[in-house]
């Protein structure tokens, strides 16, 4: 049998790669992980973690305003962006150290540098060759900017966290997760935000009511939407930018951010040296066991462009280790994956949208919907409403879709997702006693379907 430096070489120390490495090493597998940027990948460094910290930062504005109705008095609060950036960076460094410690403690060797495949069992890092019985590619994704005139003037979510100064105005191109999350953050921090979206609504793929309701609530907070328009050109004039949209309108702004999706990070990995197959977007093609067409090479997470969410990548990491090293039949169930958008208000969802449910079951669905003013806003004076929606398969009574726009939607829907995965019927929801007074109790008290 051939002898290798390691049993497993992992390229990419993001959520999926780190999880797979640690769990495998814990089983006695000889593992090394190769990373050329930062431990923790997008989520820890330029994604979920700093984003959520910035969401918290931006929510204080409304909290201050809202507190007055509850009797609080204070002088005008001021926001200092450099303090937020510095404190965020300190927290990210702490987390990088935690990752470093976790990897080392579980016996994973960390190799710093860029890994390039040179054959089915070998990876070159800075002119040094490392061999392994198996190679796992978990290199994630990278922001995609369409090829438009002036694209060199724009920033992406990779850059926004560490801006030296906050702009007065920003144009955000795109209407997906990142666009709406950053629109909320920047609006909360006092930036004038315009979203430019090529479709007629934000959050493509989400339930239509959610899309409409979120846009309405974001508009109330002062975020502007320009829909059904593309960007033709971006020009830089001194410190200002002008965006020429599809109707030849010029929008002047202080910063332009593109949040137009992410592509699999599969370039310059040497895939072509080994013949690893990718699709037209560069996603590495894998089978149900995360194995590529080259039997010793595996891939998981965003580089395979299936469901691009951190918890999915970590679940795939566990499933990979289970299958390869424990011979268990662990599979990731891609049905009913809950997801949240940390917009303001929050969106969270699990299961089917109404459109999908109707396309599958036609008239055999019942819709329950509730729109209300959260209790806090009776005194805060803040004009933000909450919406909850449930989609029920009439003939089986199963809840097949559950959606929410409102504070802490992610926290609430995480719990609801368990019930839905367990196949809970509407009758079970109805017989569950509510926790009063909460917004979440609405999900167990909706009795009358929408006509």
Nearer to ligand NDP among residue 306 and residue 394 (C-beta): 306
Stretch that binds ligand NDP, among 3-11, 19-27, 185-193, 198-206 (CB under 6 A): 198-206
Question: Is 316 one of the binding residues for ligand NDP (CB under 6 A)?
Answer: no
Question: Is 341 one of the binding residues for ligand NDP (CB under 6 A)?
Answer: yes
Alpha carbons 148 and 194: distance in angstroms, whole number = 19
| Half-sphere exposure at residue 273, Cβ-oriented, CA atoms within 13 angstroms | 16
Q: Which of 313, 317, 333, 300 is nearest to 417 (CA)?
A: 333
Shortest Cβ 442–ligand NDP spacing (Å)? 23
* Rg of the chain (C-alpha set): 24
Alpha carbons 313 and 19: distance in angstroms, whole number = 9
Question: Is 40 one of the binding residues for ligand NDP (CB under 6 A)?
Answer: no
Catalytic residue among 127, 153, 403, 436: 436
Nearer to ligand NDP among residue 77 and residue 199 (C-beta): 199
Alpha carbons 211 and 21: distance in angstroms, whole number = 38
Burial call 401-428: b when 16+ CB within 10 Å, e when fewer: bbbbbbbbbbebbeebbebbeeebebee
369 pairs with which residues across the strands? 389
Nearer to ligand NDP among residue 255 and residue 446 (C-beta): 255
Stretch that binds ligand NDP, among 81-89, 197-205, 400-408, 419-427 (CB under 6 A): 197-205
| Residue number closest to ligand NDP, CB atom | 176
2 pairs with which residues across the strands? none
For the question of residue 403 being annotated catalytic, the response is no
> Taking a C-beta distance cutoff of 8 angstroms, is the pair 131, 6 a contact?
yes
Nearer to ligand NDP among residue 17 and residue 143 (C-beta): 143
Nearer to ligand NDP among residue 276 and residue 409 (C-beta): 409
Site string for ligand NDP, 160-189 (x = CB under 6 A): -------------xxxxxxx-x--------
Question: Is 262 one of the binding residues for ligand NDP (CB under 6 A)?
Answer: yes
CA distances from 83 to 43, 46, 51, 162, 186 (A): 21, 17, 15, 11, 15
Stretch that binds ligand NDP, among 21-29, 334-342, 356-364, 380-388 (CB under 6 A): 334-342
Which of the residues are catalytic?
436
The site for ligand NDP (CB under 6 A) is made up of 146, 173-179, 181, 197-199, 204, 230, 259-262, 308-309, 339-342
């Amino acid at each position: 049998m051939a002898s290798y430096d390691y049993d497993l070489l992992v390229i990419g120390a993001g959520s999926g790669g780190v999880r797979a490495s640690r769990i495998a090493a814990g089983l006695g597998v000889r593992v090394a992980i190769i990373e050329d940027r930062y431990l923790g990948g997008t989520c820890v460094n330029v994604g979920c973690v700093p984003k959520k910290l910035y969401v918290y930062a931006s929510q204080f504005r409304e909290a201050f305003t809202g507190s007055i109705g509850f009797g609080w008095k204070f002088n005008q609060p001021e926001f200092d962006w450099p303090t937020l950036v510095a404190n965020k960076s300190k927290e990210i460094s702490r987390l990088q150290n935690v990752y470093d410690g976790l990897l080392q403690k579980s016996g994973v060797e960390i190799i710093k540098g860029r890994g390039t495949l040179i054959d089915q069992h070998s990876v070159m890092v800075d002119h040094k060759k490392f061999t392994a019985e198996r190679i796992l590619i978990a290199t994630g994704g990278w922001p995609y900017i369409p090829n438009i005139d002036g694209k060199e003037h724009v920033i992406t979510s990779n850059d926004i966290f560490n801006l030296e100064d906050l702009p007065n105005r920003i144009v955000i191109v795109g209407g997906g997760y990142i666009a709406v999350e950053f629109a909320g953050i920047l609006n909360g921090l006092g930036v004038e935000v315009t979203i430019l979206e090529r479709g007629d609504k934000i959050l493509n793929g989400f339930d239509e009511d959610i899309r409409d309701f979120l846009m309405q609530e974001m508009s109330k907070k002062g975020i502007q939407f320009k829909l059904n328009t593309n960007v033709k050109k971006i020009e830089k004039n001194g410190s200002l930018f002008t965006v020429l949209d599809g109707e030849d309108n010029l929008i002047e702004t202080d910063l332009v951010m593109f949040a137009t999706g992410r592509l699999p990070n599969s370039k310059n990995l040497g895939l072509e040296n080994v013949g690893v197959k990718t699709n037209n977007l560069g996603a590495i093609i894998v089978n149900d066991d995360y194995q590529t067409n080259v039997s010793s090479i595996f891939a998981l997470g965003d580089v395979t462009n299936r469901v691009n969410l951190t918890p999915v990548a970590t679940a795939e990491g566990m499933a990979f280790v289970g299958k390869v090293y424990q011979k268990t039949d662990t599979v990731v169930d891609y049905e009913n994956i809950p997801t949240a958008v940390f917009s303001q208000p929050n969106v969270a969802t699990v299961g089917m949208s109404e459109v999908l449910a109707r396309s599958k079951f036609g008239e055999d669905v019942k819709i329950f919907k509730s729109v209300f003013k959260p209790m806090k806003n009776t005194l805060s004076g803040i004009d933000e409403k909450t919406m909850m929606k449930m989609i029920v398969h009439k003939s089986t009574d199963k809840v097949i879709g559950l959606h929410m726009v409102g504070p802490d939607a992610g926290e609430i829907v995480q719990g609801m997702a368990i019930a839905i995965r367990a196949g809970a019927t509407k009758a079970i929801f109805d017989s569950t006693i509510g926790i009063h007074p909460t917004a979440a109790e609405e999900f167990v008290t909706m009795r009358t379907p929408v006509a």
